[in-house]
Each structure stands twice: as C-alpha cells, then as structure tokens.
Amino acid sequence: MTSYTDKGEKPERGKFVRFHHLTFWVGNAKQAAVFYCDKMGFEPLAYKGLETGSRELVSHVIRQDKIIFEFASPLNPGNEEMGEHFIKHGDAVKDIAFQVEDCDFLVQKARERGAVIVKDPWIEQDNYGKVKYAVIQTYGDTTHTLVEYLTPYKGLFLPGYHEPLFRDPLLPKLPSGCLSFIDHIVGNQPDDQMVPISDWYQKCLMFHRFWSIDDKQIHTQYSSLRSVVVTNYEETIKMPINEPAPGKKKSQIQEYVDYNGGPGVQHIALNTSNIIQAIVNLKARGMEFLSTPDTYYDTLREKLKTAKIKVKEDLKTLQELKILVDFDDKGYLLQIFTKPVQDRPTLFLEVIQRYNHSGFGAGNFKSLFEAIEKDQDARGNLTVLTADGNPKIFK
C-alpha cells in the first residue's frame, strides 16, 4: 500500500472545490428516487419534468445533508442516447459533477492535454442566480459536469429546477439515514486500463495520486484487484480507480465490467459521523448490506490487542451490525457495503466513518471480496476462466 505526499504544483488558476452531485440515468426516475428516499434516508429536493416545461427529460433530485443525487429518464420514445445507455449499462451513474472555480480555464487546460470536451462551457440562469457548466468525457460512457457559480445561487438546486411535486408523508416518520457527504467514488476499469485512466486525471484535470495498492496486497484464494486513488489539489474529491488482476476465478471487478458493459462507477462511499446509528437506521428502513463472518471479528480482536490505536466503538455491536474495521498506527475507519442496488451486480453503496485515517479499507478488501464472492457464487458468476477464455462454473 502506498500513500503519496507529493501533490504536484498548485494550479495557477482554476480549482476543483468538491463533489457537486451525481446523475443516474435510469428507466424510471420517479421510482428510483423513491427507493433511495425510502431505503437510504434521502428527501426530495427538486424536480424538472413536463409540468415545469421540460419536454424531453424528467429529473428527480434528492438530498441528504451535502449528498445530492439526480435521477433522469427520457420522457419520449426514441431517445437513442439514453436508450443505448440502458441497454448497455442498465440503471447506472452517468455523470459525476464537480463544483469548480474558473470553468473556462479548466476546460481549456483539459482540452490542451487531450481530454474530450462533450459540451463547451455554457451559462444557465433563473431568478435565483447564474451558473456556468461544461461537460468532459472520462472513463467509458461516464462524464464529468463542471459547475461554476457565477453568482451565489439561491435556488433549490440549479437553474430550471422546481419544487418537488409531492412529498411523501412516510419519510419524516422514518429514522434518519445519518449520512453527510460523498467520501469517494470508485470507477472500475477493464484489465490494464487503471494506469491510463489515473494518468488521464493527473494530466487532464491536474489531479494527483493519493493512495494505491497492488494485487500482491489485495487478494483472496480466487481473485484480486489493483487500485489507484486520484484526488484534486485540495484533496476534497477522491476517485479510486480499480482494475481486476488475474486470479483463479473471475474477480468481482471483472464481474462488474461484464455486467456493466465496460468501465463505470462501481460504488459511491457516503461518509457518516455515526456509523452505528446510521446502519441501525438503514437496516430498519430495509437496506440490504453484505454480511461478514464472525471469524473476521475473532481475527480483528487479536489484531487490536497489539495495535497502537483503540477503537472507541463496542466490538460486539460492530460484529452484530457486520461493520468492518481497518486501522494503522494513527487512526482507523469503519465501513460497510450494501448489496447491489439494482438487479445487475453492478453499482453498490458504502457507508464509511473515519477517525484520523485517510485510507480506503485495504485491510478489509479481502473480507469484502470473500463476502462478494459468496454472492457471486449464488449468482453463478464465481467462474474459472479456461484456456479458451470461456468461463467454467466451479464450486
């Protein structure tokens, strides 16, 4: 595992401030938004659709503290771009939006360095303020929208969005999701694409390497992965980039790439300041999480006996809730992963809490892989790759 201290030169202009929002392209935006509100503790924030004069697209925007998700669907038959996206990826993250300063400069630099600019900077405004946008292509069919506030924006979300049409009376009666902000967003790549993609972020967006692991450190009996985390100069936006490494069986990264039809967002990590309360509440709301065997906690207790840090939370409670712990000499993190949030085994969510620890749970990757392999096996996807390249089901 490597942590990087060299941030490179401070960019003379332009700045990536934070994650702004995520846009999902889904078959039914209304129902997808309801799922995240009911199960994960989000609330309706804004709406755009036929009633607001949007004739082609409908958009339901939901929020929890600083986390904003937008679900978009086509309104009319024959929307080829979205239609092809559904056929290939199913419901998936289409865009990761960043709030920026000096959008024009960032786009110009990205273009000079070889990035594909999907949409040159343009301005939208309404009575609440003025916002500049641009769209840049990243891995696969995923894009980054840059969002720059030209004036302080006083509206609900962004220009053109209105109040939600309906507020579910059930939501205020449910326990809080306790989730605060987007911690990191992981992109899965096919084999040998991790380095070119992480290099792209460093070159085109002026990000730098923050953390990495290779397949010698992260593996189970069957499968392994490599990962590089890139981040902006201020280190407020963290983007781990994963690829599968050859193993005896198909890794969960490869399973993702197969079912997603190529690279894409594998999981979104949501930060909480109270993971125990968050998971108690989210489980009560009906959210499904991966399970961890009790042997993991036996090993953990042994390791913690000689550790330089002390975990404040009650280990028995963490074990009951199946929350994982990773630590080093300075601090620790607590994390847990949901099962996939759609039928394809692609996108899932993570809930994470940090105590002076900026890693990504490398000590838990093995346990996570084993939990996912159990589900992969149930799906018939824990397969051995034979010499002719065809999978052979193997249990």
Give, in order, the Cα–Cα distances in Å from 240 to each of 15, 50, 209, 257, 264.
Answer: 20, 37, 10, 16, 12
Angle at 23 between CA 20 and CA 26, to 5 degrees: 165
Residue 184 in marked binding region = yes
- Render the burial of 73-112: b for 16+ CB within 10 Å, e for the rest: bbeeeeeeebeebbeebbbbbbbbbbbbebbbebbbbbee
Tokens of 52: 């607001």
Contacts of 97 (CB under 8 A, 6+ apart): 19, 20, 21, 22, 23, 144, 145, 146, 147
Q: If you search the block for the tokens 């923050």, which residue do you land on?
A: 210
Q: Is residue 129 within 8 Å of residue 112, measured between CB atoms?
A: no
Residue 267 in marked binding region = yes
Q: Is residue 147 within 8 Å of residue 131, measured between CB atoms?
A: yes
Residue 148 in marked binding region = no
Spatial separation of the C-alpha atoms in residues 27 and 149, rounded to whole Å: 30
Q: Are strands 92-101 and 143-149 parallel, antiparallel or unpaired?
A: parallel
Contacts of 234 (CB under 8 A, 6+ apart): 15, 16, 17
Binding-site residue positions: 184, 267, 350
Binding-site residue positions for Fe cation: 184, 267, 350
